[in-house]
């Protein structure tokens, strides 16, 4: 059996509205008008009805007041209806902004991962550096080929330390004692030897370097070398030697050198020229691994 629903009456009797505007409506009619205004949803219909009734009503001051009251109620009704829509729009906008931020963050994370995965050099630098240390005892010598194929001959009573693989921007070695370097030339990747108070920096050259107690010097045979200390820098040309002088005014002293004297140890020879007996015996101790006992009165004798 079909069920029928009676449609709610949405129209308002014009006469009730006229009496309300003229202030002649009963309490029941006034309540009916107010209830109708509260539940009315068709704005255009309300405006049309209001204009039709207004023509039938008396335009007294009291009526003007009621008209204003009605307009206030109508405007309030419209505002009340628009608020949920505005709130929904505001929430929707916030959700869209949040979604955009999530997309941007996700894109940034993926981009950084791709960049990181394609930079093996930087990842390699973060890894722990493995250092190699070689100690040469008195009376011995050691020839080494460094990771960049540079060659070094280490003299007796010396120690050298270098990484298992050089970095992409520099090659650095630490020396205590004496060694002769033949450095492979590599543009943009200088070779540095840290020796006592000095650092020798080259791109490709051959030189002899000494770093012992109060005896720091570099003799250049080929190429060009930059020498740095805590207080000053200088450059060497082939045939020049620099010494780090320990006196009241510590400084770098550059002067010519005798080739045979600096290279004799490579050929298994020892040469002395105007040196004290004390220094001569110190070299012999390093060379043969023995100890000499010398009377203090003889230490300053030069040979």
Q: Please report the pLDDT score of residue 94 as a whole number.
A: 65
Domain closes at, from 62, 80, 115: 115
The answer to the question of residue 124 being in a domain is no
Q: Does 243 lie in the same domain as 136?
A: yes
CATH number at residue 215: 2.60.120.1440
Same domain, 154 and 110: no
Residue at a domain's end among 87, 115, 143: 115
Domain count, the chain: 3
Residue 261 lies in a domain: yes
297: in domain: yes
Enter the tokens of residue 6.
Answer: 């009676």
Residues 147, 249 within the same domain: yes
**41 and 88 within one domain:** yes
Asked if residue 196 belongs to a domain, the reply is yes
Q: Same domain for 34 and 142?
A: no
Same domain, 203 and 277: no
The pLDDT value recorded for residue 272 is 81
- Give pLDDT, residue 240: 96
Long-range contacts for 29-37 (Cβ within 8 Å, ≥24 apart)? 36/12, 37/70, 37/73, 37/74, 37/77
Is residue 120 a part of any domain in this protein? Answer: no
Specify whether the CB–CB gap between 178 and 171 falls below 8 A.
no
Same domain, 254 and 140: yes
| pLDDT, block means (10 residues), the chain with 303 residues | 47 69 74 69 57 56 55 54 52 61 64 58 57 94 96 96 94 97 93 94 91 89 92 93 81 91 88 84 85 82 76
Cα 182 versus chain centre, distance: 36
In this structure, the answer to whether residues 211 and 134 fall within a common structural domain is yes
104 and 31 share a domain? yes
Q: Where is 16: in which H helix or E strand?
A: helix 14-21
The residue among 115, 138, 163 that closes a domain is 115
Judge whether 26 lies within some domain: yes
Query: Does residue 98 belong to any structural domain of this protein?
Result: yes
Q: What is the pTM of this model?
A: 0.56
Residue 121 lies in a domain: no
Q: 264 with 291, same domain?
A: no
Residue linked to tokens 């006229």: 18
Please report the pLDDT score of residue 129 as a whole number. Answer: 78
Q: Are residues 64 and 135 in the same domain?
A: no
Q: Which domain holds residue 95?
A: 14-115
Kindly give, in sequence order, each residue whose CB lies less than 8 Å from that of residue 264, ignoring residues fewer than 6 positions away: 270, 271
Instruction: Note whether 188 and 262 are same-domain residues.
Output: yes
Find out whether 33 and 70 touch, Cβ atoms under 8 Å. Answer: no
């Amino acid at each position: 059996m079909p069920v029928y629903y009676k449609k709610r009456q949405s129209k308002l009797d014009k006469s009730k509205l006229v009496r309300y505007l003229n202030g002649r409506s009963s309490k029941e009619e006034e309540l009916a008008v107010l209830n109708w205004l509260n539940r009315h949803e068709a704005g255009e219909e309300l405006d049309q009805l209001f204009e039709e009734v207004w023509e039938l009503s008396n335009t007294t001051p009291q009526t003007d007041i009621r008209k204003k009251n009605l307009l206030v109620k109508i405007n309030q009704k419209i505002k009340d209806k628009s608020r949920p829509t505005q709130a929904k729009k505001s929430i929707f906008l916030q959700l869209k902004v949040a979604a955009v931020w999530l997309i941007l963050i996700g894109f940034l994370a993926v981009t950084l991962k791709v960049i990181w995965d394609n930079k093996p050099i930087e990842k390699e630098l973060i890894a722990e550096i493995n250092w190699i240390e070689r100690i040469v005892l008195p009376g011995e010598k050691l020839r080494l080929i460094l990771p960049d194929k540079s060659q070094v001959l280490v003299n007796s009573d010396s120690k050298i330390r270098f990484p298992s693989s050089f970095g992409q921007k520099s090659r650095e070695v630490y020396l205590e004692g004496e060694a002769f370097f033949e450095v492979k030339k590599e543009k943009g990747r200088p070779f540095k030897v840290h020796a006592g108070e000095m650092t020798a920096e080259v791109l490709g050259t051959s030189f002899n370097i000494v770093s012992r107690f109060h005896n720091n010097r570099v003799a250049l045979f080929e190429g060009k070398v930059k020498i740095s200390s805590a207080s000053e820098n200088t450059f060497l040309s082939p045939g020049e030697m620099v010494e780090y002088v320990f006196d009241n005014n510590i400084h770098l002293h550059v002067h010519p050198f005798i080739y045979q004297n600096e290279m004799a140890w490579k050929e298994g020879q020892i040469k002395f020229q105007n040196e004290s007996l004390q220094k001569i015996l110190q070299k012999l101790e390093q060379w043969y691994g023995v100890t000499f006992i010398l009377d203090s009165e003889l230490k300053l004798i030069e040979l």
